Amino acid sequence: MDPQNLEKINEILDSDVAIREKIKEQVVDLDRKTRTLSGILNKIHSTRSEHMAALLDTARPVLESCRETTAALANIIPENQFWRWREMWQNSLRNAVFSATLIEYLSSGALLSLPGVAETLGIRSEWQGRFALPAEDYLHGVISLVNELSRLAVNAVTLGDFEQPIKISLFVKDLFAGFAMLNLKNDTLRRRYDSLKYDIKKIEEVVYDVSLRKLAPSAKEQS
């Protein structure tokens, strides 16, 4: 093999190793932040509604700090190589999406859109080709949101918040209807979407029990 060709290949390999190590550093940082967020947000299951805003205020600075990491990743990735490296931070980014959507739902009762999540995480449109928020990763984060809300529906009743499960039920059913209109060709995403039926069933059981005992207004009255 031509020595010059070998030298060029070695340069490419060395460059790839350097990029990979830099990405790993930032992914470790993003993982640390999303774990911190997870620890804070897990407290929603034992926090009464009147104290929820204060809890979310402690999570927001951590979520905002993720912008530093996404910017660092965008600076590391060479132009047009996003899809080559994205698997390294894919799970971490989905966890960040989940945290962003959960905080928004608990604050406003609304779903944070894909552009809204990208803005929250500081992901800029001009980074396209280097770093972006793919629709699939956004949808995985939204499914995780539904998983968490099915837990919250149960735990809210334990804390005496009987209206929360009904609000969650209306929100989740609307989301499920939206998912049904999507052409989901990704097998993993499709399986996770199918699993939402179990979350909806769990929430419906809680709502039924609350309604039967007349502990809160019916879903029809709230819709």
The per-residue pLDDT for range 171-188, each reduced to its tens digit, is: 999 999 999 899 888 888
- Give the separation between CA 207 and CA 222, rounded to whole angstroms: 12
pLDDT at 221: 53
The rounded distance, in Å, linking the Cα atoms of 221 and 174 is 16
**pLDDT per residue as tens digits for the range 102-153:** 999 999 999 999 999 999 999 999 999 999 999 999 999 999 999 999 999 9
pTM of the model: 0.91
Q: pLDDT (tens digit, 9 = 90+) per residue, 21-69?
A: 999 999 999 999 999 999 999 999 999 999 999 999 999 999 999 999 9
Question: Collapsing DSSP states into helix, strand and coil, what is residue 155?
Answer: helix
b/e code 106-123 from CB counts within 10 Å (16+ = b): beeeebbebeebbbbbbb
pLDDT at 217: 64
Please list, in sequence order, all residues whose beta carbon lies within 8 angstroms of the beta carbon of residue 206, skipping any fewer than 6 positions away: 153, 154, 157, 165
CB burial class (10 A; 0-12, 13-18, 19+) of residue 29? Answer: middle
